[in-house]
């Protein structure tokens, strides 16, 4: 499909689309790409800043992020030329053809679990193809790894139904929440879509699911065996869990395992990754997780200055925010949060949950909503969210901050030695983390 073809990627700066580069190159394609923002250089890949119809003039295939407007001139130019046009998910599905696939799905934890699984297999001498929806330092800050084996380990996205393009040998569903309702319309429709997908997993494959029964409704008509994972319950589980600021220790099937990513949610992710690895090969020693480096923007510690930690995390859903704050509280000191809400639709759908998810944070500085291309929704704003949080603040500092500078000033006025500052969100808020480190360093000096 891709061998000898010139493939152009719209949105190459994004983690999901950018991770396709080494996989397409392995498939024999000549890759180019463009993005609205400048993208760091990539080996043997022509890059352009901005989107333009001229980019479609000398290519054979166009792949685009779903964030691109379907009527964009560059997309239309490719269509008018009669070129094959793929979404990121459809391109991924094409790359998977001929492979045995482990597909990791769920509302939360996909990226970390996918990388944990890839890491476990690589530490056991395997050479899988890996597709992670984030930047992995161990992969040269890319999300794709062009392995030589037939096993393809991939994070699959439910945000736009992308997982439906994939026919997995092994399907991992970590959890399901009422997310991406702008696409599905209701949680029931999302769960039905996942149920139909899981029914396609063959009898000789398997499904890895939570042991708490939270997704049992989508497993009713599956033909593949189900392996249930959890904490102190299930077919594969962690027990004797000890949580700490710099990771967790637990027992998994007789092995004492250290998981360097903090938080109980990462223990759950590790158990699912281990269970999936066991379906690829045996025996598996889960102790290799102790040397598993993280994924960028997943509890990334930018620095500790004057005994103040600055941590960046992609958390943008109330469940993720709650888990990240809990992980930060494992260290001594208070937690101060800068949060940039992501999408008007998510803010609307999860508004009540946002009011309660910051419990445990002493300071919350709320930036304006990162629209991700959405139109504003009346009465849905970060200012209103801050007002509602004030009503339940109970002595905590809650501020709506119009700018990054105001958010910096808010948390710096409250932070003390031993505390943690969390920079949370899926937009461009991450740029604040190094700025915070610079400000703390200046004060220290």
pLDDT computed for residue 163 by the predictor: 87
**pLDDT bucket at 445, cuts 50 / 70 / 90:** low
Q: What are the tens digits of pLDDT across the range 182-195?
A: 888 899 999 999 99
Please provide the DSSP assignment of 100-152 as one string: EEEEEE-SSSHHHHHHHHHHHHHHTT---EEEEEEEEGGGTTEEEE--SSSEE
Q: Are residues 307 and 285 in the same domain?
A: no
Q: What is the residue-averaged pLDDT of the chain? A: 94
| Distance from C-alpha of 322 to C-alpha of 329, rounded to nearest angstrom | 11
Q: Is residue 1 part of a domain?
A: no
Q: What are the tens digits of pLDDT across the range 323-365?
A: 999 999 999 999 999 999 999 999 999 999 999 999 999 999 9
Q: Are residues 167 and 266 in the same domain?
A: yes
Burial (CB count <10 Å: 0-12, 13-18, 19+), residue 3: exposed
| Distance from C-alpha of 118 to C-alpha of 136, rounded to nearest angstrom | 11
Half-sphere exposure of 308 (CA within 13 A, CB side): 24
CATH of the domain at 42: 3.40.50.720
Q: Are residues 133 and 30 in the same domain?
A: no
Q: Is residue 135 part of a domain?
A: yes
Q: What are the tens digits of pLDDT across the range 279-327?
A: 999 999 999 999 999 999 999 999 999 999 999 999 999 999 999 999 9
Least confident range from 3-7, 55-59, 64-68, 194-198: namely 64-68
Q: Are residues 210 and 307 in the same domain?
A: no
The number of beta carbons lying within 10 Å of the beta carbon of residue 189 is: 12
Q: Please identify, among 25, 56, 90, the residue that sits at the C-terminal boundary of a domain.
A: 90
| Distance from C-alpha of 276 to C-alpha of 38, rounded to nearest angstrom | 37
Q: Is residue 329 part of a domain?
A: yes
User: Residue 421 pLDDT more than 80?
Assistant: yes
User: Residue 366 pLDDT more than 80?
Assistant: yes
Q: Please identify, among 45, 73, 90, the residue that sits at the C-terminal boundary of a domain.
A: 90
Q: What are the tens digits of pLDDT across the range 371-382?
A: 988 899 999 999
Alpha-carbon distances, residue 237 vs 88, 221, 277 (angstroms): 34, 24, 14
Tokens of 223: 């033909």
Burial (CB count <10 Å: 0-12, 13-18, 19+), residue 191: middle
In angstroms and rounded to an integer, the radius of gyration of the C-alpha atoms of the chain is 22
Q: Please identify, among 33, 58, 90, the residue that sits at the C-terminal boundary of a domain.
A: 90
pLDDT computed for residue 183 by the predictor: 83
pTM: 0.93
Q: Are residues 119 and 265 in the same domain?
A: yes
Domain that holds residue 226: 98-291
Q: Are residues 113 and 86 in the same domain?
A: no
Q: What are the tens digits of pLDDT across the range 66-111?
A: 888 889 999 999 999 999 999 998 999 999 999 999 999 999 999 9
Q: Are residues 135 and 210 in the same domain?
A: yes
User: Residue 28 pLDDT more than 70?
Assistant: yes
Q: Are residues 240 and 310 in the same domain?
A: no
Number of domains in the chain: 3
Cβ-proximal residues to 312 (8 Å cutoff; 6+ apart), any chain: 297, 300, 302, 422, 423, 424, 430, 433
| Distance from C-alpha of 270 to C-alpha of 274, rounded to nearest angstrom | 6
pLDDT computed for residue 372 by the predictor: 86
| Distance from C-alpha of 387 to C-alpha of 406, rounded to nearest angstrom | 17
**pLDDT bucket at 39, cuts 50 / 70 / 90:** confident
User: Residue 251 pLDDT more than 80?
Assistant: yes
Task: State how far Cα 317 lies from the chain centre.
Answer: 11
pLDDT computed for residue 55 by the predictor: 94
Q: Are residues 145 and 30 in the same domain?
A: no
Return the higher-pLDDT residue of 16 and 131: 131
The answer to whether 401 touches 365, Cβ cutoff 8 Å, is: yes
């Amino acid at each position: 499909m891709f061998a000898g073809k010139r493939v152009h990627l719209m949105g190459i700066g994004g983690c999901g689309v950018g991770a396709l580069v080494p996989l397409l190159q392995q498939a024999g394609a000549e890759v180019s790409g463009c993005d609205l923002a400048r993208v760091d250089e990539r080996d043997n890949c022509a890059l352009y800043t901005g989107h333009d119809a001229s980019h479609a003039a000398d290519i054979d295939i166009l792949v685009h992020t779903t964030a691109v407007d379907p009527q964009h001139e560059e997309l239309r130019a490719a269509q008018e030329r009669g070129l094959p046009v793929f979404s990121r998910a459809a391109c991924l599905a094409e790359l998977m053809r001929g492979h045995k696939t482990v597909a990791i799905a769920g509302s939360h934890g996909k990226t970390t679990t996918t990388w944990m699984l890839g890491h476990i297999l690589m530490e056991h001498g395997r050479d899988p193809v890996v597709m992670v929806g984030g930047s992995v330092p161990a992969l040269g800050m890319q999300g794709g790894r062009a392995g030589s084996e037939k096993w393809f380990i991939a994070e699959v996205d439910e945000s736009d139904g992308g997982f439906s393009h994939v026919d997995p040998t092994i399907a991992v569903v970590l959890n399901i929440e009422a997310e991406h309702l702008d696409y599905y319309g209701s949680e029931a429709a999302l769960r039905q879509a996942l149920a139909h997908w899981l029914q396609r997993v063959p009898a000789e494959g398997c499904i890895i699911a939570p042991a708490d029964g939270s997704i049992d409704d989508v497993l009713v008509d599956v033909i593949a065996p189900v392996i249930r994972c959890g904490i102190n319950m299930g077919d594969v589980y962690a027990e004797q869990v000890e949580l700490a600021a710099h990771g967790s220790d637990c027992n998994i099937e007789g092995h004492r395992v250290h998981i360097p990513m903090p938080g109980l949610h990462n223990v759950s992710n590790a158990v699912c990754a281990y269970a999936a690895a066991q379906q690829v090969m045996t025996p598996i020693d889960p102790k290799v997780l102790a040397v598993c480096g993280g994924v960028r923007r997943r509890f990334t510690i930018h620095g500790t200055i004057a005994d103040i930690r600055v941590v960046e995390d992609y958390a943008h859903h109330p469940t993720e925010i709650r888990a990240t704050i809990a992980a930060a509280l494992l260290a001594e000191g208070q937690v101060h949060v800068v949060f940039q809400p992501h999408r008007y639709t998510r803010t609307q759908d999860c508004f009540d949950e946002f009011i309660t998810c910051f419990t445990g944070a002493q300071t919350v500085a709320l930036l304006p909503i990162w629209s991700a291309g959405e139109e504003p929704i009346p009465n849905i704003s970060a200012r209103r969210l801050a007002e509602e949080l004030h009503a339940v603040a109970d002595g905590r500092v809650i501020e709506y901050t119009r700018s990054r500078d105001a958010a910096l000033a808010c948390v710096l006025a409250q932070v003390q030695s031993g505390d943690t500052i969390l920079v949370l969100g899926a937009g461009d808020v991450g740029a604040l983390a190094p700025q915070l480190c610079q400000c703390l360093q200046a004060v220290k000096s």
